[in-house]
Structure 1
Amino acid sequence: MTAQHFDVVVVGGGSAGSVLAARLSENDDRQVALIEAGVAPTDPDIAKPAMWPFIQGRDYDWAYETVPQPGTANRIHPWPRGRVLGGSSCLHAMAHVRGHPDDFAVWAEATGSDRWSYDGLLPGFLRSERFSGGASELHGGDGPLPVWLPDEEVNPVVRAYIAAGHERGVPTLPDHNGRNLNGTSPNSLTIRDGKRVSVADAYLTDDVRARPNLTILTGVSVHRLVIDGNRVTGLAVTRDGRDETITGDEIILSTGSVATPLLLMRSGLGDPDVLRRAGVECRLSRPAIGQNLHDHLLGAGNVYRSSQAVPPTKLQHSESLMYLNAADITEAKGVPDIVLGCVTGPSVSESFAAVAPGFAYTFLFGVTHPSSRGYLSIGGPDLHDKPVIDPAYLQTDHDRTTFRRALDVAREIGSAQALTAWKAEELLPGPGVRTTAEIDDFIARAVITHHHPVGTCRMGKDADAIVDADLRFNGLDNLSIVDASVIPTITSGPVHAAVLAIAETFAAGRR
């Protein structure tokens, strides 16, 4: 059975897909379809900011897992990804951090296009954002997505942590979305009136959904691309229990760093050996699909027992990030190497016994630019075959050395005078953990994903790049990829704001 034909079909109703559906359908003459495997969110916990750590694993989570990681004590890491309209913006921690301008200079060099530099992306950032402080040269004032910088809502233990950073010479930031990133500030949050705002909430408003040229199809499983020669003619899908084909003049994949390369591989695009092992005929040899996988890790964590009750968060637990130069934490310029985050309760990986909340707080610690690179691949020809996800965590000396430094700085901040009223004792890793071997063992057991997988369909000007500077798939005429998979190297912080800017920039070129 063949469904309606569209001018543009956007696959994936997450963050990038929601932006594209809204922006591309502003042209009344363009028939746009947005296809999402999940449905509109119905769980009221999604809207509650403090619930975000507890909604992972529910039925709107793809609930991916990595293979055992030698660098993290052979642990298997859960990789939550949103299976819902709004995608992972319904699951994430709501911090809005663009990244450092030099992060994007690497993108511009890789593609040969200044469109992907910080200044090239800046109009896209501005179009997406509605900052609580209003518009400025570097802040969007009337975009769809609210970006709120809290003040009196910030937890007192987090205020003490920020003061401890200042005591140690850490620069003050007005927020995490200017041209400098080294320093500390309360997190800018995608929250409005005390509720999470997903990208679907922001962009797919009732007025947008009412457009006669926009069709939103939810609960649709996309199995593979239908390819004829050098064109994608449509998508083989299951909708309402029936197999059908949705056709389009242009196909845009926005299903993310995991699902996009998996869909390409199921369609016969990828490494011929990988496809053959999975029982898929190779239609186009593209060995780099699924390669270059990398992600941010955070150590969970440097935990302290508090000498007084820690008030419950009024925000989303993780209320402040501190980006730092590893060699000199007082340095205000340049790209940060490490990051700390203050959590208003005990946050630990599954390797450690849970600590009772109320009288504990945590410093998360991580590496902003990991050099370890992994891969992912399909485990079989069908959508529900479990993929192989290997991020190769902590496989380089750079990553292990820098993680040690991040923990060292967390402990330095934790011992500052500004935290005297709160600190009773260090619970994790504990005062007895001091040698390099002890610290490495702790880090291997403590690290968890920061939920920022990127790079599996990277953009570039070289022959191995999966998409070019226009985000067109190299090898098929009418296929584009617009999501975190095209990011060639990870930003210093959360990638979500950059994904929105990528989608806004792509859409602006199509108006």
Structure 2
Amino acid sequence: MKENQYDYIIVGAGSAGCVLANRLTEDSDKKVLLLETGGSDKSIFIQMPTALSIPMNTKKYAWQFETEPEPWLDNRRMHCPRGKVLGGSSSINGMVYVRGHARDFDEWHAGGADGWHYRNVLPYFRKSETWAFGGDDYRGDQGPLGVNNGNNMQNPLYSAFVRSGVDAGYFETDDYNGARQEGFGAMHMTVKNGRRWSTANAYLRPAMARPNLTVVTHALVHRVLLDGKTATGVRYEQGGKVHDVTATGEVILCAGSIGSPHLLQLSGIGNREVLEQAGIGVNHELPGVGENLQDHLEFYFQFRCKQPVSLNRRLDWWNKLKIGVRWILKKDGLGATNHFESCGFIRSKAGIEWPDLQYHFLPAAMRYDGKEAFEGDGFQLHVGHNKPKSRGFVHVQSADPKQPPSIRFNYLQQEADREGFRDCVRLTREIISQPAMDEYRGAEIQPGEQVQSDEEIDAFVRQAVESAYHPSCSCKMGTDELAVVDPETRVHGISNLRVVDSSIFPTIPNGNLNAPTIMVAERAADLIRGREPLQSADVPVVMDEQWQARQRPGNARRAVT
């Protein structure tokens, strides 16, 4: 085999690409090239969990994309960072491990992604992880991905939040990634031995010891090379020099929900009108490329804390230094957690079958850049409506691969999404007003008690919501006219080309996206290798049997009218 010739070329060393690099090189006779635009992930700010806000906001480690003005958010431009480093977005994310609800994957299957229902994907979730508390029918105990609960909710605010959810009539769930997602409980994170356990640490580093894997960093891929309707390789630039490399097997795009549709469009694959406007010749018309874009929004519900127990008193430079030194020496303490150690998943109203609202609880009141929101003690809930109806797009702007694409999510375009955020405000106030929070709950800082009517809530949300950094669904999997890949992850109409990342989700799951992205890559690896899929898992999924009639089990009517 020639030096610039490989069996598989993987574009993007992120959450999916690192998984594929590992699994495909398990076949020692297969030569694999992994291309990544970014560089090393060995920075302390990436590896130390508590420093999560730094790499996300650093140009060296993340594409700092910005949306077009969002019409339903008062024309705000929204920040959309994507990983540009080994590990991709798993090296810059919040490390929260949420698989999504079982019904999310049944929804994929029913929508045309045949075979991607829950019983088929659960074995791949199990294969990918080692759960700190041991494996069972739902959790894995032999996988590369370390998952735990950080500091096991030592701060009393975490458990008070869980109790407040129970006081309000909701379930308590001992494992939202297990039989029952709905309810309040401990939150899980991808941390192992005190370090961020990105896919670079979990999957790529072990694979880099294999002679059949070549990893090239600082490589900007220009386009996929085509011979008619067959992918033959890619063209990339490194250090000012352009290289063409050949794939005798397949080219696999793992560049994420912004990068993968953009690369397809740069290669002349996509909507004819979009390509022609950008001055790109049409090699293959595929109208769904870059469409169907979805994301989660969230805002911070902030309260003052009456007890001196919040993390706000640890945000000065001296305490941060002590936390950092302890982490360097021992890999434990407050440096070894993302601080999101309890959470909740609830349904916004009766008639919704599975949760559509999510809470991340933080025992501090701060901004995403890690700075204090106000002086004194506080706590906050990151809350959002997780099953949006609004859809956006990623559109190439130029044949120049260095020019970013046009991105617009059309956040809150649909009335159902706006209604979901009104429910967020009213249900959250009710939860935090429960007796379990009495000794901690101070004044409401944000939104503020003056925000009450639908109009006032809508105005607040338009100004306050931020992306939860979960862009997805822009190269959807299925068989309809907007589908980009088939249920085998192959690009419709192009041979030897696949997309494997969160862009192929047909709909966005109820939760953070790192875990399902890793699952997709694990399952895709078996599809690519022609292996028999793992045996399906027919396990119970615990739901509220009266979901059609009630919003929560402790209350037979909708709680907020």
TM over 0.5: yes
Alignment partner of 1:38: what SS? coil
- Cα separation, 2, equivalents of 1:362 and 1:335: 24
- Cα separation, 2, equivalents of 1:175 and 1:356: 33
Instruction: Tell me the equivalent position of 1:308.
Output: 307
CA contact (8 A) 1:454 1:487 kept: yes
Q: 1:218 to 1:348 in 2, by over 3 A?
A: closer
2:476 corresponds to which letter in structure 1? R
Instruction: Tell me the equivalent position of 1:34.
Output: 34
Instruction: Tell me the equivalent position of 1:318.
Output: 340
- Cα separation, 2, equivalents of 1:15 and 1:261: 17
CA contact (8 A) 2:346 2:358 kept: yes
Instruction: Tell me the equivalent position of 1:504.
Output: 522
CA contact (8 A) 1:349 1:446 kept: no
Instruction: Tell me the equivalent position of 1:6.
Output: 6
- Cα separation, 2, equivalents of 1:405 and 1:74: 23
Aligned residues: 502
What do you get for the CA RMSD once the two structures are aligned? 1.8
Task: Name the % identity.
Answer: 35
- Cα separation, 1, equivalents of 2:505 and 2:278: 26
Stretch deviating more after TM superposition (425-434 or 353-362):
353-362
CA contact (8 A) 2:153 2:159 kept: no
Instruction: Tell me the equivalent position of 2:477.
Output: 459
Instruction: Tell me the equivalent position of 1:336.
Output: 355
In the TM superposition, what whole-angstrom CA distance separates every residue of 1:10-62 from its partner, at most 9, and x where no partner exists? 11100100000000100011111111111121321111111112332211111
In the TM superposition, what whole-angstrom CA distance separates every residue of 1:170-219 from its partner, at most 9, and x where no partner exists? 2111122113211011111111122211111001234x212111111111
Q: How far does residue 323 in structure 1 lie from its aligned partner after superposition?
A: 0.5
1:244 corresponds to which letter in structure 2? H
2:217 corresponds to which letter in structure 1? T
In the TM superposition, what whole-angstrom CA distance separates every residue of 1:85-137 from its partner, at most 9, and x where no partner exists? 100001111111111111001111223522x1111011111110000011111
Matched, 1:268 2:268: yes
- Cα separation, 1, equivalents of 2:277 and 2:113: 35
- Cα separation, 1, equivalents of 2:70 and 2:482: 27
Matched, 1:96 2:97: yes
1:104-253 equivalent positions in 2, closer than 5 A: 104-111=105-112, 113-114=114-115, 116-150=116-150, 152-206=152-206, 208-249=207-248, 250-253=250-253
Q: How far does residue 334 in structure 1 lie from its aligned partner after superposition?
A: 3.7
Q: How far does residue 287 in structure 1 lie from its aligned partner after superposition?
A: 1.7
In the TM superposition, what whole-angstrom CA distance separates every residue of 1:284-319 from its partner, at most 9, and x where no partner exists? 1112110000101112x2110111223338321332
In the TM superposition, what whole-angstrom CA distance separates every residue of 1:310-350 from its partner, at most 9, and x where no partner exists? 3338321332221001126xx9x941021222122224589
1:345-384 equivalent positions in 2, closer than 5 A: 345-348=364-367, 355-356=373-374, 358-384=376-402
Instruction: Tell me the equivalent position of 1:87.
Output: 88
Q: How far does residue 445 in structure 1 lie from its aligned partner after superposition?
A: 1.0
- Cα separation, 1, equivalents of 2:154 and 2:418: 32
Q: What's the TM-score, normalizing by structure 1?
A: 0.95
- Cα separation, 2, equivalents of 1:382 and 1:289: 18
2:93 corresponds to which letter in structure 1? H
Q: Structure 2: which 5+ residue stretches go unaligned?
A: 315-333, 532-561
- Cα separation, 2, equivalents of 1:374 and 1:347: 29
CA contact (8 A) 1:98 1:493 kept: yes
2:487 aligned residue (438, 457, 469): 469
- Cα separation, 1, equivalents of 2:113 and 2:131: 31
Matched, 1:432 2:450: yes
CA contact (8 A) 1:10 1:254 kept: yes
Instruction: Tell me the equivalent position of 1:441.
Output: 459
1:8-27 equivalent positions in 2, closer than 5 A: 8-27=8-27
Alignment partner of 2:246: what SS? strand
Alignment partner of 2:460: what SS? helix
Q: What's the TM-score, normalizing by structure 2?
A: 0.86
- Cα separation, 1, equivalents of 2:242 and 2:82: 25
CA contact (8 A) 2:150 2:339 kept: no
Q: 1:36 to 1:112 in 2, by over 3 A?
A: closer
